Chains A and B, each alone.
Chain A
Amino acid sequence: MQASPIDENRHSLTQERFDDLLKWLHAERERAGEIYEQIRSSLIKGFCAHGCAVPDELADETINRVAMKLPEFAGGYVGEPMRYFRRVAHYVHLEHLKRQRPMVALPDDMEARNVTEDVEPEYVCLEKCMDQLRPNNRALVVQYYQGEKGIKIELRKQMATHLKTELPQLRLKAHRIRMTLKECIQDCLRQKAA
């Protein structure tokens, strides 16, 4: 298993760390500054493409994290620095999404096999959330996810034909509806917990 290159806490960049980062990017400071700007600009564009509302902040957070991790990996790192920045940016993006949608906490020590033992609260919320979906979306998500493995694949092909779409598009559409349901369930659970 590979550890995430992200630390849990945000960091502010000291002058010393920043200087080390520039040295890693290029031996000549001026050229290093240019590369730094290119990387920052590329990160901002990347976060924009994911629809993030604060792309520059996330780009800076990514750079800070790389700078903080630098002493640990720089010696053995092979490849373009930009590639490492992108990897870190992926995790910064995931964390950004999590911050936007806090979860209802489950006990930390709960084993995976016990997680699904009693999902009554989720089920009650799910029924409410299903009622809020448009009938066609409700039907789609139920039909998409029903059946055993072999039957499921065949059902999905039939659905795609019926809806005049391709399987990958149908899969993404079902996923989006499921995300909407999940968010609705989380809101419902939070309201109950409050």
Chain B
Amino acid sequence: MKHSLEEELLLKKFLLGELPQSEQSEIEERLFADPKFFSQFRAAEDDLIDEYLYGDLEGMERERFEKYFVTTPERRESLRVAKALQQYIVKNGPGAAAELVDEDPKPRSGKKSLLEILGISSNTLRFAMATAAVLIVAVGVWLVLPAKQNKRVFSVQTGDPNAQASPTQVAQGQDNQNTGVQPPEGNRSVDAGKDEGVKTSRAPRQPPVRYSFLILPLRQVRGEGTVTEVKLPANAGIADLKVPLIEEGGYAHYQVALQTESKEQVKSWSKLKPTKEDTGEIISVDIPAKSLREQKYRLVLSGVSNSGEVQTIDTFHFQVKKSKQPQ
């Protein structure tokens, strides 16, 4: 997200009505066209109110705040809430700050996690590393488990071979298990032989099964224009699309819209709750595999607050590839 002090200053001037008309119009346009910028705008309203309350607005700015900004019932109420919050913080501040340290989900005991030892600090990187760890474990499991368990293995690929995308593609139908990696050629032939034996005791056609795909945001997939690839085998019945909740939001629930790359709505889901998986919190939606075509799609994830206000959180892109072979 592009964010700078310049942008904050611009929004402040916009809120105080200090911009020339042409710039004012540009901001209005962008506020509609860019939901992330709109979120910044709402945060800038809070900041401006705080500046007023703490006496940081002076002279003309203070006057414009009173005569131009705080003229609607909503902003007056925001000002009163901010004042109440200010009083609460004065009264409770130090104690609550201690809570923040205590409530850290990764308390600093004597032990350090691998990520800390490696000096990896961003949530995104932590998520990617955790995802990679799952991948490594999956490879290990695949190599160790005997093929007679009839575990099927195939890949979720991204356009970039280095991308840390989607290693948790898991086929959950019947006894299929997809650990998300391609076996080495040599091992595959051994498996193929054992599978043959299994197939003799089964109906020749595989029943439709459910396949899960973890879709990562573009910024986590290195290389320009690379997106997560969703490979649907011929027997795929349901595609379970999972998107990570990297930033905790405190939303009442979530909604997801499936759109084509040209932003045409295909399907939407609402009242979604996150589930906890090894890699973190996940929002998951199911769609019949036959509803998906071989093309690029985007999943728009939004959070819904208790009052019903919706904020777009992130957009996840993926490319559907269909195989004629069942897995």
Contact = CB atoms under 8 A, between A and B. Distances in A.
Interface stretch (A16-24, A63-71, A163-171): A163-171
A123 B83 CA distance: 8
B126 A164 contact: yes
Nearest to A49: B35
A164 B123 contact: yes
Given A168-B1, A173-B247, A138 B99 contact: yes
Contacts of A27: none
Contact of B92 (A97, A111, A134, A142): A142
B250 A51 contact: no
Contact of A122 (B35, B80, B104, B308): B80
Question: Which applies to chain B's interface (DSSP): helix, strand, loop or mixed?
Answer: helix
Interface string A173-185: 1111111111111
Contacts of B87: 119, 123
Nearest to A55: B265
Interface stretch (A7-15, A29-37, A86-94): A86-94
Contacts, number: 203
Interface stretch (B50-58, B132-140, B150-158, B165-173): B50-58
A126 B85 contact: yes
Interface of A: 1-2, 45-46, 48-53, 83, 86-87, 89-91, 93, 97-98, 100-101, 103-106, 110-113, 115-116, 119, 122-123, 125-127, 130, 133-143, 145-146, 148-149, 159, 162-166, 168-169, 171-187
A175 B309 CA distance: 13
B310 A159 contact: no
A176 B123 contact: no
B79 A142 contact: no
Nearest to A100: B308
A180 B250 contact: yes
Contact of A112 (B42, B79, B100, B265): B79
B100 A45 contact: no
A125 B305 CA distance: 18
B96 A116 contact: no
A189 to B, nearest CB: 9
The winner among B24, B249, B303, B309 for most chain A CB atoms within 10 A is: B309
A101 B309 contact: yes
B121 A164 contact: yes
B89 interface: yes
B29 interface: yes
Nearest to B45: A175
Contact of B307 (A83, A100, A113, A138): A100
B96 to A, nearest CB: 4
A45 B3 CA distance: 24
A97 B31 CA distance: 14
Contacts of A165: 122-123, 247
A138 B103 CA distance: 10
A100 B304 CA distance: 12
B255 interface: yes
A183 B306 contact: yes
10 contacts: A48-B263, A49-B35, A51-B312, A139-B99, A143-B97, A164-B126, A176-B305, A179-B42, A179-B309, A183-B306
A178 B40 CA distance: 14
Contacts of B121: 164
Contact of A136 (B40, B54, B77, B100): B100
Contacts of B263: 45, 48-49
A173 B312 CA distance: 13
B81 A140 contact: no
